[in-house]
Structure 1
Amino acid sequence: MKVNGDVAALDVEPWVSLLDALRERLGVTGPKKGCDQGACGACTVLADGVRINSCLALAVQYDGQEITTIEGVDHPLQEAFVRNDGLQCGYCTSGQICSAIGMLAEHAAGMPSAAGGSGALTEDEVRERMSGNLCRCGAYNGIVDAIMEVAR
């Protein structure tokens, strides 16, 4: 697979998660192991531009694909998160930003959500689309403000 633009050749057992392969075999520590059950979103990465929970994905499933973690991201969302206080402790931030990048691409492609999907992105829709990413510090308002700033 390609990780953040670099080819990574791995020989892993079929049961190794993408998250564990990234963190333990490649030393890519941006994605965090929060719940290890796909409930918190701290492990969110982009696989060929699509956001996924890397703790639920098997590394072998992504043979030949491009994996982007926060270390490989250069996006206006990063500065917007800082400007809008979209982070506090920072533990969830890498997953939040990767998820937001994927979410903005989904919206731009016309993928519907429970809160809408056509026209301009609304705060309610951002909250619904980002509901898979938790923040124990409660920085949700800043996260939404940062995403809305970039979406405009």
Structure 2
Amino acid sequence: MSGLLERIARILSQSSTTESDSAADPEPCDVPITTAANLMKNQRRRLAVALVNELGPMRLRALADAVATIADDNRKSVYCTLYQNHLPKLDVHDVIDIGERGHLVEPGPNFDAFVDFGADLEERFDGESNQTAVVEFNEDAVSAVSDDVSEVGGGA
């Protein structure tokens, strides 16, 4: 299992675009930009799209196992939410195709444009999400605020 984890981590850490890809015109997409951004908000949807992009079409069970492993989450929970919520949302917008029974996940007509959109968002905002704020507290100030909160809570 650790070999699979290492392979998935290596694939996801590699950039999926090259310089020649970035110079090409983006694929046309029928998904409005606000809808695409809303679809990208969820980690499980992003991971599902990334895995299908890198590994190709796969069965839902394998996709759920990979997403659960990467996200360090319960496999059954991931399977259920992918099947009932996330994949149907992506399917409605033709990002992926889940087939008649929903057990085979493969790229849909808008898949490439959606992947390009996600890569563009990641490139634009990746630096911001990796920054951490450093907050220093003055012990006297924290004590004073704590006393003020106690007084407010006690007076209620």
TM-score (normalizing by structure 2): 0.30
Higher RCO (C-alpha under 8 Å, 6+ residues apart): 1
Structure with the largest fraction of strand? 1
| Structure of higher CA gyration radius | 2
Structure with the largest fraction of helix? 2
